[in-house]
Amino acid sequence: MGTPPAPYVTSETRTTTKLVRPSRTTTPSSPRAASIMAAGKKTGVKEKTPEGAPSPPGYRAIPIKFSQDQASSHFLYIKEHRVRGGAKSSWPPDRTLFVLNVPPYCSEECLARLFAACGPVQSVRLHEKPDLSETPKESSVFFCPKPVPGFHVAYVVFRKPASLPKAVALQGPLIISAESHPVKTGIEKWIADYADSLVDPEALRLEVDKFMEEYDKKTAAEDAKAEAEEGVPDEEGWVKVTRKGRRPGLPRSEAASLRVLEKEKRKKARKELLNFYAWQHRETKMEHLAQLRKKFEEDKQRIALMRAQRKFRPY
Amino acid sequence: MGPAPEGAPGRGAPKEPEMIEPIMEDTESEENKDSPPSKKRRAGTQDGGLPPPVELSEAQLYQEPTNEELSQMKETENLFHSNLLRMQMEELLKEVRLKEKKQQRIDTFLHEIKQWLLTVPSTTVTEMTDQSWLPKGVRVPFIQKPYAVKGRFQFLPPTQVTVVGSYLLGTCVRPEVNVDVVLTMPKEILQDKDGLNQRYLRKRAFYIAHLGHHLSRDPLFGSVRFSYINGCHLKPLLLLRPAGKDERLVTVRLYPCPPPGFFRLCRLMPSKNNVRTAWFWDKTTPEEGILDSPTPHYNTLLLCDEVMESHLHLLSAMLASSPGLRDGIILLKVWLRQRDLDKGTGGFSGFIVSMLVAFLVSARKISKSMSGYQVLRNVLQFLAATDLTVNGISLCRSSDPSLPAVADFHQAFSVVFVDPSGHLNLCADVTVPTYQQVQHEAQLSMAVLDDKTVDGFQMLLMTPKPMIRSFDHVLHIHPLSCLYAACQRLKLWSELQDHGGDYVAAILPTLTALLERGLGSRLILLTHSRAPVPQWEINQNPPKHKDQGALSLGLLLRPEGLVSVLEMGPEADHPEAADFRQFWGSRSELRRFQDGSIREAVLWKAESMAEKRLLPHQVITHLLKLHAGIAESYIHYVGGSLDPLIRAPKEVHSTGEEALAMVVRAYDQLSRQLWGLKGLPLTVTSVQGAHAALRYTDVFSPVPVWLDFTFHDHLEKRDALLPRPSKPCPAFVDPINVVCHLEGSGQWPQDADAIQRVRAAFQLRLAEVLSQEYGLRCSAKASHTDVYKDGYVFRVRVAYHREPQILKESCTPEGMVTLRDTPNSALLDRETRLLPQLTSALHGLQQQHSAFSGVARLAKRWVRAQLLSDGLTEESLDLLAASLFLHPAPFTPPSSPQVGFLRFLSLLSTFDWKNSPLIVNLNGELTAEDQAEIHSHFLESRIRLPVMVIATPQDRSHSLWTKDKPSAQILHHLVNLAAKALPILEKHLMDPSESGDIRMVFRPTLDVYDVLIHLNPRHIPRHREAVDLPAASFSRGLLESTGPSRRLPVLCYDPPSLYLSQLRKAFGDLALFFYDQHGGEVIGVLWRPDSFQPQPFKATSVQGRMVVSQSGDLMTVPNVEAILEDFAILGKGLVQTVEARSEKWTV
């Protein structure tokens, strides 16, 4: 959710050209494109990992298993995180490992532990889809329920750039749930999740209070600013009219403008004379006939369709 | 997805699984949804989809009308309802009329028959009791009882062979084309007194027996069989079918008739006797004092043959110049046929209807220039308004005083329609219930024709109304032999004599009258249907009465009448009291009532709604035993056969209506408490239910829970209970959702995030206040407050009415505020506004139609049992069930869950989802114009709408409840399943001897699935709700006794659904998961065929896939082996085994 518009914005009626929001420059949200392009660089160079698991160009396949007992394994596809020149990325360029196809039972802690073998890990972040920016984690545990995990992509940031080549050269298979670090799944996990979902009312209250305090502060500041700008022309001489002014205008919203249009239309319709002149009369009749014909044609088509579907066999 | 590709080759290269046959070119993948309608889809609409846009050029539209066009329009306006109806009728007529070409083939066949008939050799004269002249291979098609009869017989070829009946009149109806051929027997065969004691009828039988024998030796005929005219066992006839490929084309029926003027009509008046008692009961010496009672039905049989030709002349004269009348008769025949009214003994046959049209023409109610539609309408109007059981009609114009009067006919027959000769009652065999059914249907049909919002054509002429689907309860009497004993007990000697020993026909009027009186106010209509008319080979004996299947009675119940368990009789000192006592026998008791009167009364035992619905069973069993001596074992009552499926595991008598009513009571209390809260800063403006239980459609009602604390783990810091891993999963508690709107106020922030926080604060406050003011145990979360009350857990959700609006607002770059639906706003709007509205509307529906709950729950139960729990929203199923009550045409609203469920299956399987929206007019808010608008909007925007469109007054154009699901494939699958289940179920219910299990239509076929995941019942909390009650049962941590509970139960903890949501999240792109939430032990998995195609590597879509090298290229395919292991890992503890069933994924 983007930042919601401050309340007074909704009541703007006339804004200067300068008040027009700049359309936000969309960051080329094409991590997909980026990765494809990254992949494109090395087309033709088909790598084979020593174990024999084929991997796409640019990536390395590392088998990963839940535990020692599993017969077959998933494959993590990893590579150094790189982007094309133009695109911005908030991940540190030479210390970040890009991991594809992380199984649902593999958490961030788990990945950190697995890659710790290559060097100290600074952070691990799981995403649904490749994401170039390091979005902060949602702070509230009360209002943003924990999503159900699926397959993820991960960005593993090492402390030192030297860890990266080690990671790329890592040999599998990786074991997620070792005896020393068991990972809960199934019944145990659901019970743990259930326990986590029980909230402490006091903590919730505190969080709400804190949020509202900040919110009140923010709205108060905005109100004060609006108050100060009230009736004051900007540098080009435009004055913003708001609901709070001396002559409140119509709210500048779609619904309101539609209402006005509708009103105009009705006014116009009242003035018009119908079936007054002979030609009007004639035309209405012809229009009626045309409607009939059109309907007849439609009906014929419907019948043809029903006939095709054998809809007329009574039994 | 269609049926399992059984026997399809399962080996070799990655085979495209065949289970997906999209009805519309619509796949679930995201890309397709977002992209504009693809070419493919457009192509799909061309063949059999929507009509392509009408293409009439401007010039064509506005050209001057021709005279012809104007007159055609005028005619349509005058003669038909609308253009569409006119064309529909024309198409239907085209479909049922005989084709010219076939008519020629039939004509040649008839010609050949005629040649043949005239050359059949004659025989010598013999006594009728000496039947040795008959050759070995043929049996007399007549039950000769008593055997001895006077008279002589001799076969001579017919003097005349005439084609009569509908074929000649051009009113015969495909696909069963019958041509009636009358053979006039030569005078020499017959003797003077042949009208007496079945002599003539037996000679007829001998005549066709001899004919049959000769014709059967000719290769011209594919089959030569016997049957009965209208099922009357005294009048056999011979059926001939051509050999070769024309065998199905036509059946020629040979009727022997006497030479014209053979019978003296005055001897056959309804008051005359022509079957002597002494002869019939085989008494050698006539006893004194026994009168020969009139035999009106027997007389009718003879009269029929005598006047047959004159009727033909009348009809052909009428129809000769009037195609409209002919069309009308054909339409009427189709109408009767769809209602099963024209079949068997006492049916309201096509002939009667033709004669009725003749009557209306003579009465100037129909003119010869009318169209078929008008004829249909007028006849229905006449039938609906006229009661022939009281006011008979006559075609006879003669004022001859010797003719019997209509009143005489009324004495002898129940339904009276006298023919032009003035002697024959055309409706002699029609019983009162049959006529009442005709009348009832005519009234219903008239209502349909007058209602602009229903498709009258479809309802009247295209929708079959089999007995089991039209009547609330059905009763079979089987075997029939019990009825003979009943006849004797009721002393129906003269009736038996009149019907020639057909005890079913003899007892029917008495039986139905008895039951109608007994059921009284519980009944709208009682009808009967006998097994179809038998046909048999000529070398077999005619079937005996007792072998003719069963007698089925259909009961249409009056829901208001079902409420009472008391049959109030007259006051004890009234003279009628004795009659009441006699009628009810030992069940009648003297009772003192609250108003002080002492009356005779019968009190039936029924506690729950389900038992009250089945009261007619008790009544019928009692009355039949008392008056007719028919034991209970002969009565097969089909009324509550599906009830066990919606009975909660611990219930015995009830089907859950009472438990749901208790939930609603607790909710009412809670809502009063919420209204009365003092400690909230804002007042409550509305409290609305938003849960299936509050609209009576929760399959298994929530039950009060009292917890066994030792069974659970405790989380002390939250003062809450947790499931304990070592124990079976605790009982599943589904909180009952309640939406509580708070008043609007300037204090509400106008920002979505802030509103969310304020709501959370209210939830906390609500919990505090509720526990302070009413001592209820509560627990608050950010989005809701759980309240533990009377053992139920209510989930109260605070709502602010402007919140959806605020979520919708967005600002355009120009600074204009626009309202656009966002997923969040739509969800909130749905949950806080539309769902409560729907819940209250359906709650209201339940108050009007008490069977609604049962029907909706059975429907849901069935869909879920097919493992489609998540394929459809439960609201959409509720609406489907509601539509059966709000738009019952051509039926009446169901009064029993059984019939409602059958109609649900039929609706699901026959509704044209692709081309029409299902309009559910809740509370009757939509006018005809509104509905027309919905239709036109639907046609305009079909492509953007979901595959299944349901429109309600609150949701006219978006079909909210079907927006996300079902997908095209699921709907297709469901429609197929319903189409398969319906005939199986109907056959089962209509066959009293069937001993199979009714639950079989509720058991899913598991063959279609690629992988089955078997679950451990220990961790399925709703295990006991399964279709087949499982043998094992586990403790779920509940106590029997009620008591105050300190802690809330574990809520919404259902391991299978948690597991499923994980599976869908992780593998939703690769597979579909199917599960029955009511105690299913198996999850069915279907791989998505498209995801099994090798795809080039893409960083965005490698979930669960692996890279393989395929002929030099690197492609990704699903890593199936690892995924199968994942199934087990994710569901550790819950999953027993993962069974991979086919090898579709081996590359």
DSSP B371-413: -HHHHHHHHHHHHHH--TTTS-EE------TTSPPHHHHHHH-
| Closest among B667, B651, B686 to B793, alpha carbons compared | B667
| Closest among B1117, B1116, B1102 to A78, alpha carbons compared | B1102
Which residues partner with B811 through β-bridges? B817
Task: Provide the 3-class DSSP secondary structure of residue B183.
Answer: strand
- The whole-number pLDDT of residue B443 equals 93
Q: Which stretches within B849-967 are classed as H helix?
A: 852-865, 874-886, 897-910, 928-940
Q: Which two tokens stand for residue B493?
A: 């000697």
- pLDDT tens digits for range A271-296: 887 778 888 888 888 888 888 888 88
Query: In this structure, what CATH number is given to the domain that contains residue B1081?
Result: 3.30.70.3030
Residue B1114 and residue A73: Cβ atoms within 8 Å?
no
- pLDDT tens digits for range B771-804: 999 988 899 988 899 999 888 999 999 999 889 8
Whole-angstrom distance, CA of residue B1091 vs CA of residue B4? 19
By the CB < 8 Å criterion, does A129 face chain B? yes
- The whole-number pLDDT of residue B673 equals 92
Query: Is residue B791 in some structural domain?
Result: no
Same domain, B356 and B430: yes
Whole-angstrom distance, CA of residue B913 vs CA of residue A217? 55
Which range, A215-229, A242-256, B70-84, B242-256, has the best average confidence (pLDDT)? A215-229
In a mutational test of the A interface, the residue from B87, B341, B1051 whose CB has the highest number of chain A CBs within 10 Å is B87
Which residue in this structure is represented by tokens 């692709």?
A: B914
Query: Is residue B1118 in some structural domain?
Result: yes
Residue of B nearest to A191 (CA): B723
With a cut of 50, say whether residue B319 has pLDDT above it.
Answer: yes
Of B262, B277, B303, at which residue does a domain stop? B262
Query: In this structure, what CATH number is given to the domain that contains residue B192?
Result: 3.30.460.10
Whole-angstrom distance, CA of residue B835 vs CA of residue B230? 55
Rg of chain B over Cα atoms, rounded to whole angstroms, equals 36
| Lowest mean pLDDT segment, chosen from A241-250, A284-293, B1032-1041 | A241-250
Same domain, B315 and B244: no
On whether the CB atoms of residues B148 and B129 are closer than 8 A, the answer is yes
Which burial class, exposed, middle or buried, applies to B189 when counting CB atoms under 10 A from its CB (0-12, 13-18, 19+)? buried
Number of H helices, E strands in chain A: 7, 6
Is the ipTM higher than 0.85? The answer is no
Residue of A nearest to B1119 (CA): A74
Neighbouring C-alpha atoms within 13 Å toward the C-beta of B162: 18
Edge-to-edge strand list for the sheet holding A174-175? A121-127, A152-158, A96-102, A74-80, A60-65, A174-175
Same domain, B522 and B392: no
Q: Which stretches within B254-295 are classed as H helix?
A: 277-280
Task: Provide the 3-class DSSP secondary structure of residue B190.
Answer: coil
Determine the Cα angle at A57 with ends A51 and A59, to 5°: 65
Query: Is residue B824 in some structural domain?
Result: no
Whole-angstrom distance, CA of residue B850 vs CA of residue B865? 24
Size of interface A-B (CB pairs under 8 A): 268
Whole-angstrom distance, CA of residue B1108 vs CA of residue A55? 8
By the CB < 8 Å criterion, does B746 face chain A? no
Neighbouring C-alpha atoms within 13 Å toward the C-beta of A39: 22
Whole-angstrom distance, CA of residue B334 vs CA of residue A30? 65
Whole-angstrom distance, CA of residue B856 vs CA of residue B897? 8
- The whole-number pLDDT of residue A37 equals 35
On whether the CB atoms of residues B1078 and B700 are closer than 8 A, the answer is yes
Of B433, B465, B497, at which residue does a domain stop? B465
Q: How many domains does chain B have?
A: 4
By the CB < 8 Å criterion, does B31 face chain A? no
- The whole-number pLDDT of residue A22 equals 34
In a mutational test of the A interface, the residue from B74, B798, B817 whose CB has the highest number of chain A CBs within 10 Å is B817
- The whole-number pLDDT of residue B151 equals 83
Residue scoring higher pLDDT (A177 or B32): A177
By the CB < 8 Å criterion, does A300 face chain B? yes
Whole-angstrom distance, CA of residue B135 vs CA of residue B246? 29
Alpha carbon of A133: minimum distance to chain B alpha carbons (Å):
16
Task: Provide the 3-class DSSP secondary structure of residue A155.
Answer: strand
Which residue in this structure is represented by tokens 């495909």?
A: B174
- The DSSP 8-state label assigned to residue B422 in this structure reads S
Beta strand A121-127 with B160-164 is unpaired
Query: In this structure, what CATH number is given to the domain that contains residue B503?
Result: 3.30.70
- Quick one: average pLDDT of A60-68? 87
Mean per-residue pLDDT of chain B: 84
- Quick one: average pLDDT of B418-445? 89
Residue A314 and residue B818: Cβ atoms within 8 Å?
no
With a cut of 50, say whether residue B815 has pLDDT above it.
Answer: yes
Alpha carbon of B1104: minimum distance to chain A alpha carbons (Å):
6
Query: Is residue B645 in some structural domain?
Result: no
Q: Which two tokens stand for residue A293?
A: 């014909």
With a cut of 80, say whether residue B631 has pLDDT above it.
Answer: yes
Q: Identify the H or E element spanning B818.
A: strand B817-819
Which residue in this structure is represented by tokens 């080039």?
A: B1096
- Quick one: average pLDDT of A227-256? 74
On whether the CB atoms of residues B647 and B656 are closer than 8 A, the answer is yes
By the CB < 8 Å criterion, does A255 face chain B? yes
Task: Find the domain containing B361 and state its range.
Answer: 294-465
Residue B816 and residue A19: Cβ atoms within 8 Å?
no
Whole-angstrom distance, CA of residue B496 vs CA of residue B659? 52
Query: Is residue B837 in some structural domain?
Result: no
- pLDDT tens digits for range B286-305: 555 567 788 888 888 888 88
Distances (CA, A) of B583 to B488, B566, B572, B586, B601: 18, 15, 15, 9, 11
pLDDT band at A58 (very low <50, low <70, confident <90, very high): confident
Whole-angstrom distance, CA of residue A51 vs CA of residue B520? 85
- Quick one: average pLDDT of A34-47? 35
Same domain, B346 and B477: no
- The whole-number pLDDT of residue B974 equals 93
- Quick one: average pLDDT of B699-706? 89
Query: Is residue B664 in some structural domain?
Result: no
Of B262, B282, B308, at which residue does a domain stop? B262
Neighbouring C-alpha atoms within 13 Å toward the C-beta of B1002: 26
Beta strand B152-153 with B126-127 is antiparallel
Query: Is residue B423 in some structural domain?
Result: yes
Query: Is residue B913 in some structural domain?
Result: no
- The whole-number pLDDT of residue A48 equals 40
Same domain, B123 and B256: yes
Which residues partner with A63 through β-bridges? A75
Q: Which two tokens stand for residue B1019?
A: 């961790």
The beta strand positions in B95-158, using DSSP E, are 126-127, 152-153
Q: Identify the H or E element spanning B778.
A: strand B777-780
- The whole-number pLDDT of residue B835 equals 93
With a cut of 70, say whether residue A96 has pLDDT above it.
Answer: yes
List CB contacts (< 8 A) between A187 and chain B. Answer: 725, 729, 1019, 1055, 1132-1134
Type of residue numbered B378: N
Whole-angstrom distance, CA of residue B545 vs CA of residue B234? 12
Residue scoring higher pLDDT (B653 or B624): B624
CB atoms within 10 A of CB A178: 14
Residue of B nearest to A6 (CA): B751
Whole-angstrom distance, CA of residue B331 vs CA of residue B325? 10
By the CB < 8 Å criterion, does B461 face chain A? yes
- Quick one: average pLDDT of B197-210? 86
Whole-angstrom distance, CA of residue B293 vs CA of residue B299? 12
Which residues partner with B635 through β-bridges? B477
- The whole-number pLDDT of residue B203 equals 87
Which residues partner with A236 through β-bridges? none
pLDDT band at A9 (very low <50, low <70, confident <90, very high): very low
Same domain, B627 and B485: yes
Same domain, B454 and B472: no
With a cut of 80, say whether residue A51 has pLDDT above it.
Answer: no
With a cut of 90, say whether residue B882 has pLDDT above it.
Answer: yes
What does residue B566 show for φ and ψ, rounded to 5 degrees?
Answer: -115, 140
With a cut of 70, say whether residue B519 has pLDDT above it.
Answer: yes
Task: Provide the 3-class DSSP secondary structure of residue B72.
Answer: helix
- The whole-number pLDDT of residue B286 equals 56
- The DSSP 8-state label assigned to residue B520 in this structure reads G
By the CB < 8 Å criterion, does A46 face chain B? yes
- pLDDT tens digits for range B535-575: 888 888 888 877 778 889 999 999 888 888 888 888 888 88
Task: Provide the 3-class DSSP secondary structure of residue B827.
Answer: helix
- The whole-number pLDDT of residue B1076 equals 92
Q: Residue A269 contacts by C-beta under 8 Å, 6 or more apart in sequence?
A: none
Residue scoring higher pLDDT (A279 or B1110): A279
| Lowest mean pLDDT segment, chosen from B587-601, B757-771, B1039-1053 | B1039-1053
With a cut of 80, say whether residue B1142 has pLDDT above it.
Answer: no
With a cut of 80, say whether residue B54 has pLDDT above it.
Answer: no
With a cut of 50, say whether residue B706 has pLDDT above it.
Answer: yes
Q: Residue B700 contacts by C-beta under 8 Å, 6 or more apart in sequence?
A: B646, B648, B649, B656, B1022, B1025, B1078
Distances (CA, A) of B18 to A113, B3, B21, B316, B1073: 44, 9, 7, 56, 17
- The whole-number pLDDT of residue A244 equals 65
Residue A215 and residue B751: Cβ atoms within 8 Å?
yes
Same domain, B228 and B198: yes
Task: Provide the 3-class DSSP secondary structure of residue B557.
Answer: strand
User: Percent of chain B scored above 90 by pLDDT?
Assistant: 24
Same domain, B473 and B458: no
Q: Residue B53 contacts by C-beta under 8 Å, 6 or more apart in sequence?
A: none
- Quick one: average pLDDT of B957-977? 90
Same domain, B1018 and B1111: yes
With a cut of 80, say whether residue A231 has pLDDT above it.
Answer: no
With a cut of 80, say whether residue A14 has pLDDT above it.
Answer: no
- Quick one: average pLDDT of B895-910? 93
- The fold of A29-197 is Alpha-Beta Plaits (3.30.70)
pLDDT band at A32 (very low <50, low <70, confident <90, very high): very low
- The whole-number pLDDT of residue B166 equals 82
If you write DSSP's letter for every residue of B322-353 in order, what string do you get?
A: -HHHHHHHHHHHHHHHHTT-SSSTT---HHHH
Alpha carbon of A10: minimum distance to chain B alpha carbons (Å):
6
Sorted by where each begins, the domain ranges of chain A are: 29-197, 270-315
| Closest among A82, A73, A47 to A169, alpha carbons compared | A47
Q: Which two tokens stand for residue B257?
A: 């008739």
With a cut of 80, say whether residue A89 has pLDDT above it.
Answer: no
Residue scoring higher pLDDT (B901 or A94): B901
Q: Residue A225 contacts by C-beta under 8 Å, 6 or more apart in sequence?
A: none
Whole-angstrom distance, CA of residue B864 vs CA of residue B960? 21
Same domain, B138 and B246: yes
Same domain, B560 and B435: no
**Torsion angle in degrees (nearest 10) through CA of B946, B948, B949, B955:** -80
pLDDT band at A86 (very low <50, low <70, confident <90, very high): low
